[in-house]
Amino acid sequence: MRRSTLAALGGLGLLVGGAAFWSLRQRRTTEQVPYTVLERLDGVEMRQYPSSVAVETEAANDARAFGRLFRYISGANHERTDVSMTAPVETLVRAEGREVAMTTPVRTSEAAGASGVRMSFYLPTDYDYERAPEPTEEGVHLVAIPERVVAVRRFTWWATDRRVARQTRRLERTVDAAGYTPVDDPSLLRYDAPWVLPFLRRNEVAVTVHPDGPGRA
């Protein structure tokens, strides 16, 4: 009994170790949107992001939105070229944690509705808006995102509605206490593939704030 138990535990350890290895490898080989940390406040990072380009879509749920965007980076564009996937994947969330339509400071479109979601993939940094491949699928479009200051709170495990809502409330309290002024709604940032174990996952809730700092509106 003891030998079989040890063997089972050893097998489980190898499985977890292998999953952890591939999770770390995926993070190291996937380009991430660059940023500079300006300040740290009670578990929240104030980050400066450069201007960037994203491809986004509206859909009834995450799976449909992700599928459209994945087809774009897999060749559903006018150049029929593959585009490297970056991290994070971004969706907008309500204060209570439910995903809803997202708008951007540069280009907006009609909301997808209370039960819909708008999802964005950031393009690699060697693309600008003029050079990015145009999508061919209806409902998928490019968005130019300007330089911005973003307050970000990181958390792990599955990004359930309840967990996202709790982390969003904490983020908003910290931002408010520090005197920063949000300029849009919070968003959810997800960095990992679906198969990554929950305790290894990197999720963040984020909100863009006024770039001039506390007390500015």
Residue 75 φ then ψ, to 5°: 125, 0
> Thinking of the domain 1-217, which architecture would CATH place it in?
Alpha-Beta Barrel (3.20)
pLDDT given for residue 30 in this prediction? 79
Q: What is the mean pLDDT of residues 175-181?
A: 96
Letter for the amino acid at 84? S
| pLDDT tens readout for residues 74-123 | 999 999 999 998 889 998 764 444 443 333 322 222 344 555 788 999 99
Residue 55: per-residue pLDDT: 95
Encoded tokens for 146: 């300007």
Q: Are 53 and 128 in contact (CB under 8 A)?
A: yes
Instruction: Decide if pLDDT at 25 tops 70.
Output: no
The string of pLDDT tens digits covering residues 44-67 is 999 999 999 999 999 888 889 899
Mean pLDDT, residues 161-184: 95
pLDDT at 116: 78
134, pLDDT greater than 80: yes
195: nearest Cα among 4, 9, 22, 5: 22
Q: What pTM does this model have?
A: 0.78
Mean pLDDT of 182-210: 91
Instruction: Give the sign of the dihedral formed by CA 67, CA 32, CA 190, CA 122.
Output: negative
In the chain, where the domains are located: 1-217
Q: What confidence score (pLDDT) does residue 169 get?
A: 96
Q: DSSP secondary structure string, the chain?
A: -HHHHHHHHHHHHHHHHHHHHHHHHHHHHSEE---EEEEEETTEEEEEE--EEEEEEEESSHHHHHHHHHHHHTT-BTT------EE-EEEEE-TTS-EE----SS-------TT-EEEEEEPPTT--TTTSPPB-STTEEEEEE--EEEEEEEE-S---HHHHHHHHHHHHHHHHHTT--B-S--EEEE-S-TTS-GGG--EEEEEEE-TT-TT--
What b/e readout covers 14-41, taking b as 16+ CB neighbours within 10 angstroms? eeeeeeeeebeeebeeeeebebeeeeee
